[in-house]
Amino acid sequence: MHNLEKEINSFSHLWKGGFRNGLSINQEADSVCDYKMLYQKIIQPYISKNKRCLEIGCGNGFWSEVLVGFGEYVAFDALSAGHNKFWNRIKKEDWISYFQVKDFRCDELEDNSIDYVFSYDVFCHISYSGAQEYLKNLSSKLKNGADLFIMIADEAKYKDDVGLRKLMEHAGHKDLGSFMSDIDGDSSKTPGRWFFYGAEKFINFARKCGYTLVDKDAALNIDKLSPVIHLKK
C-alpha cells in the first residue's frame, strides 16, 4: 500500500543547501522557463490585498518574494523554515505564516479561507496518490472562485530526451515505459524523483473534486517542459 506519510517525509532530502538562493525573478530566466513572464501571467494579475494566498512548496522563498504582495500569505513546505533559511529572505510579518507539513491533509488551513494557490516545481515530485490527496483535502479550504496554478510533469510536453532519461535513471528505472507508468512509486528510496501522471489524469481527478478547468497549460510558451494547470474552485 502506498505510504503518503513516508513519501512526504522523503522530501526532507530533496533540497540541500537552498534553492535558487540569491536569485530573483527579474534575474532568473533559463533555457527551460522565463520566470519573469510566469510571474507576469500567473501571479501579478491576481495579487490583491483582499486575498489570502497559499504556496505549496515554498523552499527558500524564491516565489514568496512576490507572493507576499497578497493580503495574507501562507507557506507550506516539507522542510522547516530554518532548514530552508526562509526568514533570511522573507521579512517576518504577522500576515505571513509558514507551516512545515507532514502530510497532505491541509489541516493547517481553515475552511473557506484561501483565494489563490500557487505551486511550482513541487507536484512533479509528488506521486499521483499524493496529488489526489492534496486536491481532495484542499477543496474545502478554498473559497468559491479561488484560482489554483499547479505545475505538474507531463510526458507530452517534456521534449528533452536527455533530461528525461536522467530523471528515469534517478528514479531507478531502465526504460521509459516503466518509468512513465510508475506514478505511485516509493519516492523515499529516490528523493526528488519525478512522477509523470500527466495533465489528463490530474485534470480528470480535479473535476471529480469539484474544480473547474480554466487552462490546461497557463505556462504555454513560458515553461518549455512542464504545464501549469489553472483550476478554479
Q: What is the pLDDT of residues 60-118, one digit of tens each?
A: 999 999 999 999 999 999 999 999 999 999 999 999 999 999 999 999 999 999 999 99
Domain locations along the chain:
4-232
Per-residue pLDDT band for 18 (boundaries 50, 70, 90) equals very low
Percentage of the chain exceeding pLDDT 90: 82
Read off the C-alpha cell for 18: 537552498
How far apart (Å, rounded) are the C-alpha atoms in residues 43 and 213?
Answer: 17
Give the three-class secondary structure for 40.
helix
How far apart (Å, rounded) are the C-alpha atoms in residues 122 and 56?
Answer: 7
Q: What is the pLDDT of residues 120-138, one digit of tens each?
A: 999 999 999 999 999 999 9
**pLDDT at residue number 187:** 80
Q: What is the pLDDT of residues 189-218, one digit of tens each?
A: 788 899 999 999 999 999 999 999 999 999
Per-residue pLDDT band for 3 (boundaries 50, 70, 90) equals low
Q: What is the fold, at CATH topology level, of the domain defined by 4-232?
A: Rossmann fold (3.40.50)
How far apart (Å, rounded) are the C-alpha atoms in residues 102 and 82?
Answer: 16
Sheet containing 228-232: give its strands across: 96-100, 72-77, 52-56, 114-119, 142-151, 228-232, 212-215
How far apart (Å, rounded) are the C-alpha atoms in residues 176 and 74?
Answer: 37
Per-residue pLDDT band for 188 (boundaries 50, 70, 90) equals confident
